[in-house]
Amino acid sequence: MIHKLRFSALLSLAILSGLGVAGSVSADDWRRFRGPNGSGVSSDKNVPIEISADKNLLWKVAIPGAGNSSPIVADGKIFLQSASEDGSERRIVCLDLNDGRTIWHRSAPGTDVKVHQKNTLASCTAAVGNGRVFMPFWDGRHLSLAAYDLDGKSLWNVDLGTFEAQHGAGHSPIVVGDLVILANDQDGTSEIVAFHAEDGGVAWRKGRPPFKACYSTPLVLDEPGAEPELVVASTAGVTGYDPRSGSEKWNWPWSTNDKSLRTVGSPIVSQGMVFFTGGNGPGDRHAVAVRLDDRAGELPASQLAWETRKVFPYVPCLLAQGEHLYFVNDAGIAGSYVARTGKKIWEERLGIGDVTASPLLIDGRVYVVSEIGSIRVFAAETVFKKLSEGELDEAVRATPAVADGRLLIRGKEHLFCFGKK
């Protein structure tokens, strides 16, 4: 109870504090995990290159409790999740993008359970659409999805049932039209569920072959002249669904995977292909590129454009620009490969320790934050070119966000906002 009271008191204090100058912000939104369609790519021209604790810091606020929930941004408001020290509470917190002050917070019950050492009890990331914010909560036993309006009014809450996974939870929904879609992949059971954004009613649900719990977030393939497709990657492979009905349109089974791999990093689409990765604790690292030029029903093995089992990341997600892929793997090695062929262009050890947060590509530059808070920015080009380096002096495992010329980095104890002053 002491921890719970302290958690609530600190959050209430945060409402009254916050650093910076108050005012209105018209933001370019970052409405889901990794921004537009989960690409991790922003065209924002105003994010500074120099990022560190003493360079281009606009504000910094304490976030009570623990969480790897990544910040998202909509209408000048930041949304993230945190858990109390004793695990008895989960919180969705809404902050002002302009100055970091807490606008509102809402509580959900929880219990303290064991998770992976790099995970937390509040690692789910929200999504915004239809004037609402949708946040998954894991109370230690059950997974739920809650909806609020952007002013914090509770609209609905749906219990998805028990969630079982060796490493804990870390889900991120997406909004497609008037539906909210969540990949509920666990140890031994897996399904995609679509909810009506208006009332939380189930629009459809579709089972997938279950193996070990996966944490990748779906994307939407929206090609000119074609109906949108929901693309989901997991240990089983990658599948395209009709987002309106949940009917399966095509499927590529990951036959070269012995089913011991988890997909933690989310898929991306570029150059007419879908790219996704898998790995495990012992150190296996796989990346595959699947062609999408001829897809219907069960896709043959020949749709595999290329596969590598070497340096690609397990947890951090990939990036794409033009004809090239860029990445930073879990050991802090950066690389660039030709998207269509998988040919290596360059690899470079950044010297920043382990990396869990996914990198972002902002205006042709890749921004990386390591677990010890070391920051590197390098050019998304065919030769490695380091542009800046900095330090936060705080652990970071949550993926950053970009909005309105601001770079948001969630550390272990604080949320940092960087931008041009």
pLDDT tens, 197-217? 999 999 999 999 998 889 999
The pLDDT of residue 121 is 86
Quick one: average pLDDT of 173-195?
A: 96
DSSP-derived secondary structure for 268-310: EEETTEEEEEEE-TT--EEEEEEE-SS-SEE--GGGEEEEE-S
| Rounded (to 5) percent helix, strand, coil in the chain | 5, 45, 50
Number of domains composing the chain: 1
The pLDDT of residue 259 is 79
Q: How far apart are the first and last CA of the chain?
A: 42
The pLDDT of residue 364 is 97
Lowest mean pLDDT among 93-97, 118-122, 346-350: 118-122
- Computed over every residue of the chain, the mean pLDDT equals 91
Query: How far, in whole angstroms, is CA 255 from its chain's centroid?
Result: 26
Round to whole Å and give the CA distance between 330 and 265: 11
The two structure tokens encoding residue 357:
């947060």
Split at pLDDT 50, 70, 90, the class of 122 is: confident
Region for residue 148 given its phi and psi (left: phi exceeds 0; alpha: psi -120 to 50; beta: otherwise): beta
Do 268 and 219 form a contact (C-beta atoms < 8 A)? Answer: yes
Angle 20-22-23 (CA atoms, 0-180°, nearest 5)?
A: 135
- Decide which of 115 and 99 is more confident: 99
Burial class (CB in 10 A: 0-12, 13-18, 19+), 69: buried
Burial class (CB in 10 A: 0-12, 13-18, 19+), 1: exposed
Q: What strands lie across the sheet with 174-176, from one edge to the other?
A: 174-176, 179-185, 190-196, 202-207
pLDDT at 58 over 70: yes
Q: What's the CATH number where 71 sits?
A: 2.130.10.10
The pLDDT of residue 35 is 97
pLDDT at 27 over 50: no
Bridge partners (DSSP) of residue 240 are 231, 250
Do 27 and 76 form a contact (C-beta atoms < 8 A)? Answer: yes
- Decide which of 391 and 299 is more confident: 391
Q: What are phi and psi of 2, to 5 degrees?
A: -60, -45
pLDDT at 16 over 50: no
Domain carrying residue 169? 2-418
The pLDDT of residue 22 is 31
The pLDDT of residue 373 is 97
> At 233, which amino acid appears?
A
Q: What percent of the chain has pLDDT over 70?
A: 94
Cα→Cα distances 107→76, 89, 262, 391, Å = 22, 7, 31, 33
Q: What is the pLDDT of residues 134-168, one digit of tens each?
A: 999 999 999 999 999 999 999 999 999 999 888 88
